[in-house]
Amino acid sequence: MSDVYTPEFDPETGVPLRKVRSFVLREGRLTKGQERALGELWPHFGVDYRAQALDAAILFERTAPLVLEIGYGMGASLLTMAQAEPEKNFLGIEVHTPGVGALLMGIEEKSLKNVRTLHHDAIEVLENMLPEASVDRVQLYFPDPWHKKRHHKRRIVQPAFVALLVRKLKPGGLLHFATDWQPYAAWMLEVLRAEPALVNVSLTGDYVEQPAWRPDTKFEARGERLGHGVWDLLFQR
């Protein structure tokens, strides 16, 4: 996935230091198709950032379970999931402009009605737009592992971030993380286990088999080529 936000956290409190923006809206080079999609399809499937609560029932023109994906990259897996689960609403957050354009193209190509996207910082969206206890499933697939120890503070999976996600989950809602970097998987597991409001769904107390709803991604294929495994974590509020 592309970077959605790369936080800095207070080392003592774990609170994200939000006043200095720590991500960049990544413009990239747009194809003609992506540029057209952003111009023509955004008014129909894009959600402008506003610091006010989002009403999913109004946005999707129906009441249905809400799945939030943070950092969908070019959108291929999000589109596959939305097509496979038409009874659910899917809201994606991405900062990479070509990825947003590609998702919009896919929505049109597949004639999907259950996908919307934001092009903004995930933390601001979570804090200011998503009501408490409004999301049925949160997905975070293959975030940047920030391999070097001195960069671990930039990892998106931190105690304060997980606590924020928990607030947005409905009771019984799921957090589904996946990574192809084993040290980051162990980090995620430690952070998730430490959150008292969450229960690990794994029967072995660590990782789960790839859930049926998560399709293989290019990151997974790359990891397999490099001899990496993939670790799925599934926790329930």
Per-residue pLDDT tens, the chain, 237 aa: give them.
444 554 555 545 555 554 434 344 556 689 999 999 999 999 999 999 999 999 999 999 999 999 999 999 999 999 999 999 999 999 999 999 999 999 999 999 999 999 999 999 999 999 999 999 999 999 999 999 988 999 999 999 999 999 999 999 999 999 999 999 999 999 999 999 999 999 999 999 999 999 999 998 776 777 778 877 999 999 999
Number of domains in the chain: 1
171 located within any domain: yes
pLDDT of residue 100: 98
What is the distance between the alpha carbons of residues 130 and 124, in angstroms, rounded to a whole number?
Answer: 9
The predicted structure's pLDDT at residue 225: 81
Q: Give the pLDDT of residue 9.
A: 53
Cα 22 to its chain centre, rounded Å, is: 17
Domain ranges, residue 195: 32-236
Q: Which residues pair with 198 in a beta bridge?
A: none
Q: What 3-state DSSP class applies to 224?
A: helix
Tokens of 54: 């989002």
pTM value > 0.75: yes
Rounded CA gap, 68 and 139, in Å?
6
What residues does 231 pair with on adjacent strands?
Answer: 179
Residue 18 lies in a domain: no
Q: Is residue 4 part of a domain?
A: no
Task: Give a yes or no: residue 11 inside a domain.
Answer: no
pLDDT at 220: 76
Give the tokens for residue 206.
């660590």
- On whether residue 115 sits in a domain, the answer given is yes
Question: Which amino acid, residue 172?
Answer: G
Residues in the chain: 237
Structural domain contains residue 39: yes
State whether residue 56 is helix, strand or coil: helix
55 within some domain: yes
pLDDT in the model for residue 19? 42
Q: What DSSP element (H or E) covers 42?
A: helix 42-45
Give the pLDDT confidence score for residue 179 in this predicted structure.
Answer: 94
Domain holding 124: CATH number? 3.40.50.150
Residues designated as active site:
144
Predicted confidence at residue 219, as pLDDT, reads 67
